[in-house]
Amino acid sequence: MNLENLSENRCFGGWHKQYQHHSGVLNCAMRFAIFLPPQVASGQQVPVLYWLSGLTCTDENFMQKAGAQRIAAELGVAIVAPDTSPRGEDIANDEAYDLGQGAGFYVNATQAPWNSHYRMYDYIVDELPALIETHFPVNQQRAIAGHSMGGHGAMMIALRNPERYRSMSAFSPICNPINCPWGEKAFTAYLGDNRDTWAPYDTTVLLPNAQQPVVGLVDQGEADSFLATELNTDVLEGVVAQTGYPLEVRRQAGYDHSYYFIASFIEDHLRFHAQHLAA
């Protein structure tokens, strides 16, 4: 699989690089960013954290705003940030920000016209890691994290693939997408009207049936404007309390949905992942 290097920047002794490649799964060109910590310069293979971003974001938002590279360089962890959806003139889209390009929701679409390209679940779980592990000095110790729509994606993917990830974490995740406006709109479009097909993409449905736990951390700002209508954090907290699943949910007073929130606690998340990646 050919990679086109779009940019590279020296960063905390390592490198931030941006690439484009053709995705056979998504049937289009895709872009991702990768931070390689300084440890790779000595030939060391390092573990990798996959970061899934939220609605409207690209591969650039987290890498430019979260301030994660300094700690990742210290810990010797690579970070991979894919785009949030297929993109292009011939790719199905919608005028609204919460459907179509920039809003892939990390599902495999089954409904036309979305099913021609929108298979972000397969891209994140299989195609992208295979590409990363072929072309970069990373090992197979993986963690996954994300924000908002990406927080939904990270937890859902980890719960469905516990053998692939040592740990998972999320900021402000859409915890119960089958019961919120964002999720209902996207799942109806991508998956159809049969709500039974939605359940495999909902963290609060998957978690009680998990056979192999993936240790997790969630931070939720209490000043988040989407908390009451879209995120359903209380539903997740209830399921965790009921099942005893090893997922810590922290409420952070005064914090909102922004990257200021992510930047404030990303060090905690990176150190959390590094601990389990090294185990």
pLDDT tens, position by position, 22-69: 999 999 999 999 999 999 999 999 999 999 999 999 999 999 999 999
Q: How many angstroms separate the Cα of 137 from the Cα of each of 77, 125, 140?
A: 11, 19, 10
Say what the pLDDT of residue 133 is.
Answer: 97
Average pLDDT, the chain: 97
Q: List, by residue number, the catalytic residues.
A: 148, 224, 257
pLDDT tens, position by position, 3-23: 999 999 999 999 999 999 999
Name the stretches of the chain with pLDDT < 70.
Answer: 1
Task: Give 261: exposed, middle or buried? Use CB within 10 Å, 0-12, 13-18, 19+.
Answer: buried
Q: Where are the domains of the chain?
A: 3-278
pTM attached to this predicted model: 0.97
In CATH, what number does 3-278 get? 3.40.50.1820
Are 153 and 200 spatial neighbours (Cβ–Cβ below 8 Å)? no
CB neighbours of residue 230 within 10 Å: 23
Q: How far apart are CA 261 and CA 185, in angstroms?
A: 26
Say what the pLDDT of residue 269 is.
Answer: 98
